[in-house]
Amino acid sequence: MIIENTSIDGLFILKPTIFRDKRGYFTESYNQKKMNDLIENINFVQDNDSKSVFGTVRGLHFQTPPFSQTKLIRCIKGEILDVTVDLRKNSTSFGQIERVLLSDKNNHQLFIPKGFAHGFSVLSNFAIVSYKVDNYYNSEYENGILWNDSSLGIDWKLKAHEVIVSEKDKSLPHLNNIVSPF
């Protein structure tokens, strides 16, 4: 497994070793010991999957302490543009975004530590996204940022008429209207 730094400290792209032959491929998608050795000790407690159609934008979501979450994201079918926003108040990259293409072709994963808002857009006919989290979901601690906040200038790689967003995500606040708990 190769760990690649992004432009934001603490946010990593994981590139697993893939063994291909005429039958297909084999890859180790997760190994606790390697994760602990390469990044930090993480105890993932929940796995989540979502299936979404082309044009779907999910996010930008985060949970506040004490239910904040470290995430390990991968796209097991299709292609997504994964987007994070640094919400760590003392970070030199506060408010900075990072965009990473995740797909069933590149098998890359994105490691997102606590203190980030997260979302993605679906660029293929549909996508299945799988993610590990190190804390349980709690709706009372759920929060987010408006997906099309103009101050962030996120290019989701979709045309305006293609975007599908939940009503809940349409009502999230702008970044400048939240007080970061991180």
- The encoded tokens of residue 8 equal 């934001």
The one catalytic residue among 108, 131, 137, 174: 131
Let me know if 131 is a catalytic residue.
yes
136 is catalytic: no
- 3-state secondary structure at position 132: strand
Task: Identify each DSSP E strand in the chain by its residue range.
Answer: 2-5, 12-15, 18-21, 24-27, 46-53, 57-63, 71-77, 79-86, 97-103, 109-112, 116-122, 126-133, 142-144
Q: Which of 61, 108, 141, 161 is catalytic?
A: 61
Q: Which residues are known catalytic residues?
A: 61, 131
